[in-house]
Amino acid sequence: MKEYPKIILKHGKDEALRRRHQWLFSGAIQQIEGHPEEGSIVEIFSSRNEFLGMGHYNDGSIAVRIFSFEQVIPDTVFWKQKLERALQFREALGLCSSPNTNVYRLVFGEGDEMPGLIIDFYNGTAVIQCHSYGMYLLRDNITAALKELYGYKLQSVFIKSKETLPTKFGDLVQDEYLYGGTSENLVSENSCKFFVDWEQGQKTGFFIDQRENRKLLMQYCHEKKVLNTFSYTGGFSVYALKAGASLVHSVDSSAKAIALTEQNIAINGYADKKHESFKSDVVEFMKHTEETYDVIILDPPAYAKHIKTKHKAMQGYKRLNEMAIRKINRSGFIFTFSCSQVVESSLFRSTVIAAAIQSERNVRIIAQLSQPADHPVSAFHPEGEYLKGLVLFVE
Ligand code: SAH
């Protein structure tokens, strides 16, 4: 068996790993034997020399992302089996053979016991996004495994990790096709069509995590005036129009996002008077628009990317929600979200409640939303939970 650099923990620092938590923090390390480089595979042992796990080494606060709590040979077969399990889970969820949906998340990092790895499947194209250099180094193994698993259903594999890996890897990584080339980038989600720009778009190109929430929105949009803020590709707007909304306004500050929104509205056949998009800051738009709305969607980018910015972020969420609550018509519905991982759902909820109190309107919380099942949260890694939302009914 190959010898890997060995990490020995301080006495008493093995508890989290025994609970199968997949991050080893640098503060728990007593000693490193060997000279692991960024992305090297290492083995972790307790202070009493008991094997605890193996993973990818990283020169940072999360020193190791653990991909196995057993001593394994991490070869192509090992990774193929992991991907196979991820695929079988999505099959069990009914996502792989649906006539209406051909886009889903195949791998969600720790939720699939592959920390540092995201893979989204877009109607034949797998888009890989790495959050650890160790995973990036495995890109060819992963591509080979995907080809075997999907067979003819896989037309191309694109890796897009420049923006997600620490900047020090900037010159070492490239966003490129690892298999195939530009392929069909039209996907279908609950029978709604979307162009996905995985090469240039945000994240892997599309926010798959809102699939179930977009579907729920449809229940509330028939003959309603809808404001979709932070629209990006226009996901919520397309669903609202499909549900028979009488008017939909999409707002995003990025010209590219507005272009994507309009393209997606058009390919679904809704490019008529019912839809209009606005390139604007959301707060400015809400301040100045004279239109009134029955349904408002608030899906801002992560206001708090780090614990240090959490306090300021909460003020941002409060202000945004208060504005929408004040603005919405009587008997209106607000779909409000936060995708900041560091903002717990209870804190988000109390912030929205604070906004409701300030607005002096009667507000009911009628649903609590989260991320869909193809973004699973490992019971041993609760940090995987990041998307939370509330549906409000405002009188
Ligand atoms: N709701 C979308 C995802 C939103 S991503 C979906 O379902 O796909 C966040 C979007 O907010 C991005 O497109 C970004 O361009 C936009 N954005 C960020 N800050 C903004 C601001 N202050 N005003 C308007 N749009 C903003």
| Three-state DSSP string of 192-243 | EEEECCCCCCCCCCCCHHHHHHHHHHHHHCCCCEEEEECCCCCHHHHHHHHC
The predicted model gives 86-96 an average pLDDT of: 97
Q: How far is the CA of 213 from the centre of ligand 1 (A)?
A: 16
Can you give the pLDDT at residue 12? 95
Instruction: Outline where 35-175 has alpha helix (H).
Output: 76-92, 133-137, 139-150
Does residue 220 share a domain with residue 347?
yes
10 Å Cβ neighbour count for 208?
25
pLDDT score recorded for residue 182: 77
Residues 96 and 133 in one domain: yes
pLDDT at 28 over 70: yes
pLDDT at residue 1, rounded to an integer: 67
Q: Residue 126 belongs to a domain with what CATH number?
A: 3.30.750.80
pTM, entire model: 0.96
The Å distance, Cα 85 to ligand 1 centre, comes to 33
What's the domain range around 132? Answer: 76-187
Q: Which atom of ligand 1 is nearest to the CA of 284?
A: 23
User: What is the predicted pLDDT for the residue at 205?
Assistant: 93
Q: Is there a single domain that holds both residue 234 and residue 361?
A: yes
Here the CATH number for the domain that contains residue 27 is 2.30.130.10
Q: What is the CATH number of the domain that holds 376?
A: 3.40.50.150
Strands 247-252 and 275-279 turn out to be: parallel
CB atoms within 10 A of CB 11: 9
Does residue 85 share a domain with residue 29?
Answer: no
What is the overall mean pLDDT for the chain?
A: 96
Q: Are residues 264 and 350 in the same domain?
A: yes
Based on the fold, state whether residues 127 and 212 are members of the same structural domain: no
**Looking at the domain assignment, is residue 372 inside a domain?**
yes
28 and 87 in a single domain? The answer is no
CB 146 within 8 A of CB 154: yes
- In the predicted structure, residue 171 carries a pLDDT above the cut 90: no
Task: Give me the mean pLDDT over the 265-287 stretch.
Answer: 94
Judgement on whether residues 240 and 283 belong to the same structural domain of the protein? yes
Residues 275 and 326 placed together within one structural domain of the fold:
yes
Average pLDDT over every residue of 133-152: 96
Do residue 181 and residue 256 come from a single domain? no
* Distance set, CA 120 to CA 130, 151, 156, 177, 205 (Å): 11, 17, 12, 14, 9
Together in a domain, 27 and 101: no
pLDDT score, position 2 = 78
Range 152-174 average pLDDT: 94
Q: How many domains does the chain have?
A: 3
Which of 47, 68, 89 corresponds to the end of one domain? 68
What percentage of the chain exceeds 90 in pLDDT? 92
- Asked whether residue 153 falls in the same domain as residue 86, the answer is yes
pLDDT at 346: 96
Domain end call among 68, 97, 120: 68
- In the reported structure, the alpha carbon of residue 301 is separated from the centroid of ligand 1 by a whole-number distance in angstroms of 6
In this prediction, residue 143 has a pLDDT band, given cuts at 50, 70 and 90, of very high
Please give the average per-residue pLDDT across 268-287, as a whole number.
94
251 Cα–ligand 1 center, Å: 8
Mean pLDDT of 306-329: 93
Q: What per-residue confidence (pLDDT) applies to 179?
A: 97
Indicate which atom in ligand 1 lies nearest the CA of residue 236: 7
Q: Which of 206, 251, 253, 278 to mutate to test the pocket of ligand 1 (most atoms within 8 A of CB)?
A: 253
- Asked if pLDDT for residue 305 goes beyond 90, the answer is no
Is residue 201 domain-resident? no
Least confident of 126-130, 304-308, 348-352, 362-366: 304-308
In contact, 86 and 105? CB cutoff 8 Å: no
Q: For 174-224, what is each residue's pLDDT tens digit?
A: 999 999 987 779 999 999 999 999 999 999 999 999 999 999 999 999 999
Q: What is the reported pLDDT for 271?
A: 82
Residue among 250, 225, 224 at smallest CA distance from 237: 250
The answer to whether the beta carbons of residues 248 and 240 sit under 8 Å apart is yes
Compute the average pLDDT of residues 330-350.
96
- Give me the phi and psi of 268, to 5 degrees please: -90, 0
Collapsed DSSP state (helix, strand, coil) of residue 370: strand
Indicate the top mutation candidate among 230, 339, 375 to test ligand 1's pocket, ranked by most ligand atoms within 8 A of CB.
Answer: 230
pLDDT computed for residue 273 by the predictor: 80
Is pLDDT above 80 for 82? yes
Q: Is residue 180 part of a domain?
A: yes
- Per-residue pLDDT for 304 more than 70? yes
